[in-house]
Amino acid sequence: MRQHFAVIDEPIKAGGDDNAPTPVEYLLTAIGGCVSITLRMYAERKGWDLGEITVNVRQKEELTSEGIKKSLIEEISFEKEVTPEQKEKLLEIAGKCPVAKMVKGATPITSNIV
């Protein structure tokens, strides 16, 4: 990742040392960060002062007759008040985050051993 690196681990109960976030936690963080940046850029173009933007993303698991169904829940909040019209538009814009679109669209992954 350019000049950066990420440390990834698993909880002790999963055989890790719990020294860093899990791969899923990094994915949820990437989605939340991308949504936040996307909303900030849009709001700045519109001249809207949202204050601090907080995006919490969590995984939900539901047992169905077909097995475990997983979904992601985004909870977005703003420090400043927004109108109902702004909320509607910001929710639409949140869906344009490239990382979330990649996950929603189930981007094909090609694996190669090199």
Over the stretch 15-67, which tens digit does the pLDDT of each residue have? 999 888 899 899 999 999 999 999 999 999 999 999 999 999 998 888 888 88
Q: Is residue 3 part of a domain?
A: no
* Entry pTM: 0.81
Q: Is residue 58 part of a domain?
A: yes
Residue 18 CA to residue 27 CA, distance in Å, equals 17
Residue 114 has pLDDT above 80, yes or no: no
Q: Is residue 113 part of a domain?
A: no
Q: What is the band of 5 on the pLDDT scale with cuts at 50, 70, 90?
A: confident
Over the stretch 64-109, which tens digit does the pLDDT of each residue have? 888 888 888 999 999 999 999 999 999 999 999 999 888 887 667 7
- In this prediction, residue 113 carries a pLDDT of 60
Question: 22: domain range?
Answer: 12-104
Residue 79 CA to residue 99 CA, distance in Å, equals 24
Q: Is residue 5 part of a domain?
A: no
Residue 96 CA to residue 38 CA, distance in Å, equals 8
Q: Is residue 110 part of a domain?
A: no
Q: Is residue 80 part of a domain?
A: yes
Q: Could you give the number of structural domains in the chain?
A: 1
Q: Is the C-alpha dihedral spanning 100, 40, 2, 32 positive or negative?
A: negative
Q: Is residue 7 part of a domain?
A: no
Q: Is residue 2 part of a domain?
A: no
**CATH value at residue 100:** 3.30.300.20
Residue 102 neighbours by CB under 8 Å, 6+ apart: none
